Each structure stands twice: as structure tokens, then as C-alpha cells.
Structure 1
């Protein structure tokens, strides 16, 4: 057996382990050098990772030097016995550390948020400058024409943003793009996360996709990301970005965008595009400045 110590267990991961109790939890679905995904018997996702970023779905473990693909195979079972999660040759001792999202929505400062315009534009310019191959803002991407049409219909052309139109169009693009989690799914996750958290403070209707429909249109792992994010469950880097926006701390917001954009190949960039566009849309709902159209233009759409 290969012993590992879990120094932090996310709130959702902890609930899922408690739900299944002693015995079989699920099996290995996807394996990466520093992480692997468990698919529980109920179809939920738990991520076991050596990365330092905490999340409600993560079990953060110490590094042992060997990449997970050399230790695990897809389909290997996961069993919980006496505070230890056994996955193939791994014996993961679950420590006392826990992580859950804070009440980010309570930080919303109407006056401060309304002054973020310049920083949202600066963030859009930054994202366009990265222009990673295969991302939403890559004009050579085979899907770019569809992204552009989506942005123009939902953010640029009059009368501007409409949640029913947005949701109808978004469903049709689920699963579009490159990457383990498709680019549009990453964008949509970021957008729905910030928008729905803001809605809980500002009194407008949140936007939520039917989980079964999401799962029918994209991969299992990507569907779970969309489902969790639309409910406001996010990792701590995304939480820091949303919190800085809600506080109206523009400098911290731009720095948080820079932090998030670096994850994966283009996932961080696409996720950041969604977060920035949602902030612009919410600001338009408060101030009627037409900022979302300008931000979309800065992104290259």
C-alpha cells in the first residue's frame, strides 16, 4: 500500500463520504499527473489532488513524488474504512482539515461594485492578450464563429442581455470547444457562478440549468463543474475573485483574474471570461451603462 495523508477535505467531498459510509464509495473515473477523479455510486465527483488550491469537491493530499497515472487505473474501486479511503494501492488517511466556501454574497457592496468598470475592461484586455490556442478568444479555433455569434446575440446587439435568451442559447453550446472540460462549459461555469451569487443579494432570478440536461450534452466531469458552480460552489481562487468584485476592490480583482487564468491549458482563461462577463452584465443591470457590450468587444467578439 502507498500511504497518503489528506490535509484538507472539502465540504462536498466530506458530505459524500459520510453519505456512502463504510464500504464502497465509487471508482476512479479520470487520472491526471497530480489529481484523479472519483465517480461515486451516486454519480457525484470527488477530486483527489496534490495541488494546494482547496475546493468543496477536493481531497487535498500530500505529494509523494510518483504521478497518479503510474499508481492507478480507471475503474479501480474506492472504499472507505475507519477514516481511511483506499483507492487501488493508495491508503489515504483523512485528516481533520476541512474547507467550505464562505458567504461571499454577503460581501456585495453596491457602491464599490458599481465602480469596477475600468477594472473589468482592463481584465478583458488582459484575457485577450493571453489568447491561448483553443480558448474562446482564439480566432483560429474551429468553434470561434459560434462563440462570436453567442456573444453578439447575448451581449452586444440591442437590446442587450436577457436571461431567457442567454439560457436558451447556452444550452445549445454545452460541450463546445477543446480541452478536458470544453471551453464553453468553463465560460458558462464562471458566468453562472458570479451571476447567481449576485442575484441572491440583488433580488433578481438566478439562472440554473437542469443537471440532467447538462449531463446529456457534455462530459460527466464537465457537467459536474457546471452544476457545482451554478450553485456557488467554487475553489478558493475563484472565491477570491468573486469576493474582490463584490467588495469593489478593482486591483485585487485584476490580480485574481491573473491567478485563475493560468490553470489548465485554456480552462482558466475561459472560466475568467465567464466571471468577467457576468460582472459586466450585473453592473449593467444596476447602472445601465452598456458595459457588457464593451467588455465583449475587448475580448475580441
Structure 2
């Protein structure tokens, strides 16, 4: 058995082997550290260009797709508002483009994802606030959209097409007649202080006045709404525009939801749609809110609202209620006001089609005195 050498007797065979082995190991570890450092540097520059933040465009709505994806150079518009996960652009042809990290797709949206690592932004995605300023020009160049120091790559962007593909019939509407109490109960359950269903000082009396007007303006869908009734209903909606707090006031959200359902069902049943000219409602509210009303009137709505409208055509109560719950989570009161407007429109049509009084009962349940 070989023993270890004493001090001063030289280096033994095993000790020499260990030294050689350790040297090889240290050389290997050094090479790995250099390789990892180079790899990290390459990853860093692929995810975040020098002085710029980079996003990949996942989807763009069909309202903007043709221009955004075909235009090679040019000014597209200006930023009019910036939030954590959303920024709004007023295009130079007077349309609204919503750039969002949200996954909800819409004809007016551009859905994007950051491609830098989260740790490069202090441990989490902070969104657009702080890296994009109000008034910044939006430019398109070489398959990219740029806003200041932020780049949106368009190369792999897909086009979102509207999924409003179901046409409701009177039979479909009848499925909702006996379920009105359940639906209105869900709306009240998810209402928030300040919305039309649970008003504060800024929204008090708005919904009660509208419901009373709807009840008194009933004229029978067999006549497809006379011009007089159409004018009166438009005025009732105008009275809501710009009313309430928030970036999009509660009254505007209700009107947008109401027009979206009312006009879609009317088109499906070959009735007259609601005449609601933008030159009358636009001066009553902000530019952005007026555009959202206009798009909803034309049924340019996002996929969650489309799912709620499609559930009417399918006679699917469960999907309708599920959509109310999902949409009601938007903003502070926006979602629940949109869902309320959609539901009141649904039962406006049902009352006129089947000569029921569901809107009247809803009014009485909200305002028993």
C-alpha cells in the first residue's frame, strides 16, 4: 500500500494525479463560465436592443391590418393615452388603435408581447407607462412600428377577423324570456359602486330614466320601429353620453353595449337599426369614448363581447351569464355597464317581439318605490 509522502520528500504519484485532475477541472469550469457569459450577453442583446424596448405583435385587428401590414414607411398617428398594459393611438385617418398586452383580440386592437426578459425590467413587466409618452408619434418602417424608444415587430403578426357569425332568430330570443330574473340577478351581483346599477352622485337616476323611456317608447317590432320611435330612442341614448366618471364614462359604456346588441339583432331579423349619428354624440364625450360607441354601433367589438352576442343566437344561457361575469371585471365600472347595456337591449327587443314587459319588471325590481 502506497503511503503519502512526508513533508520535504517530494510529490507522490496520487498527489500529482490529483493536481493534474484539478487543473483540467478548473480549466473546464473557466471555459463554461466564459461560454455562459457570452451566451447571456447574446440573449441580452436579442431581447432588448440598445436603448430600445422591443415587442412582438401577435395579432392585429382587421380594421387596421391592411394598412399596418402593407405600409412600409410613414406616420400612422399619435399616442393619446398610456396605461400599464394598454396605449391608445389616434391614427391620422381618425381611427382608434388600441395597443395592448392583453390577450383579448378585437378589430381595433394590436396585441403584443414583450420579448425582453423580465429580470431586465427589475423583476416584472411594467407595461407601457414610463417608456411611452403622451403625444409621441407612431411610425411604420420596414415591418416595424415604432413609438419613441419602443419597437413593435410586425413580421409574424396575424390578422384577427370578427367572429360574429351567428344570426339570432325569434326562437333563439324566446330562450331568454323565462331567464330574465336570473340574468338581472347576476348583473346586480357583479355591479360596482358608481356604475349605473349601483349609482353614485354622478350616475344617479340615469338608468331609471332610460328604462322608463324604453318602456314608454315601445311600439312593436312588427313595424320595425317607426321613424318617430327611432328618434326618441336615440335621444334617450344621447342623454346618457358623457355621463359618469372615468376615462370612458358609465353612460358611454352602457350606450356602446346597448347599440352593439340592438343593432346586431335588428340586422339579423331585418329590422331597422338604431339611427345614432356620431355628429350628435361625439361632442358630448371624449374623442376616444365616442369612437368606441361608433365601433360598437357597427359591431366592431372584441371577442368577449362577440361571444356574449353569439350566445344569444345559440340560445345559450350559460354562455351568456359566463360572458357577463368575464366582461364585468373590466376597469372599475366599464365592464358591468357594457354588460348592462347589452342585456337591456336584448330585453328591449324581446319585449317588442313577444309583447312582454320584462324591462318594466326590471325597472320595478330596481326602483320599488
Q: TM-score, normalised by structure 1?
A: 0.92
CA contact (8 A) 1:22 1:79 kept: yes
Question: Which of 115, 126, 134 is the aligned partner of 1:74?
Answer: 134
Query: Residue 97 in 1 paired to residue 158 in 2?
Result: yes
Q: Distance in 2 between matches of 1:196 and 1:214?
A: 17
CA contact (8 A) 2:203 2:250 kept: no
Query: Residue 34 in 1 paired to residue 85 in 2?
Result: yes
1:150-199 Cα offsets, whole Å, 9 max, x none, are 221223x4757843211012223310011110101100101100110111
Q: Distance in 1 between matches of 2:297 and 2:367?
A: 25
1:54-80 Cα offsets, whole Å, 9 max, x none, are 000100001461321110110001000
Taking only aligned residues, the RMSD between alpha carbons, in angstroms, comes to: 2.0
2:108 paired residue number: 57
CA contact (8 A) 1:135 1:178 kept: no
Gaps of 5+ in 1: none
Moved more, 91-100 or 242-251: 91-100
Shift, 1:2, TM fit: 1.1
Shift, 1:210, TM fit: 1.6
2:172 paired residue number: 112
Kindly indicate whether structure 1 or structure 2 has the higher relative contact order, using CA contacts under 8 Å at least 6 residues apart.
Answer: 1
Question: Which of 95, 100, 122 is the aligned partner of 2:182?
Answer: 122
Question: Which of 269, 280, 284 is the aligned partner of 2:351?
Answer: 284
Gaps of 5+ in 2: 1-51, 117-124, 221-228
1:24-48 Cα offsets, whole Å, 9 max, x none, are 0111101010000011112210000
Change in CA separation of 1:102 and 1:159 when aligned onto 2, cut-off 3 Å? closer
Q: Distance in 1 between matches of 2:218 and 2:299?
A: 28
1:74-116 Cα offsets, whole Å, 9 max, x none, are 0001000122100111110122311121243x43143132121
Change in CA separation of 1:212 and 1:163 when aligned onto 2, cut-off 3 Å? closer
Change in CA separation of 1:286 and 1:84 when aligned onto 2, cut-off 3 Å? same
Count of aligned pairs between the two proteins: 299
Q: Distance in 2 between matches of 1:184 and 1:21?
A: 40
Change in CA separation of 1:32 and 1:229 when aligned onto 2, cut-off 3 Å? same
Question: Which of 87, 91, 109 is the aligned partner of 2:147?
Answer: 87
Query: Residue 225 in 1 paired to residue 292 in 2?
Result: yes
2:244 paired residue number: 177
CA contact (8 A) 1:37 1:48 kept: yes
State the secondary structure of the residue aligned to 2:76.
strand
CA contact (8 A) 2:90 2:97 kept: yes
State the secondary structure of the residue aligned to 1:241.
helix
CA contact (8 A) 1:154 1:160 kept: no
2:56 paired residue number: 5
Q: Distance in 2 between matches of 1:41 and 1:158?
A: 40
1:254 paired residue number: 321
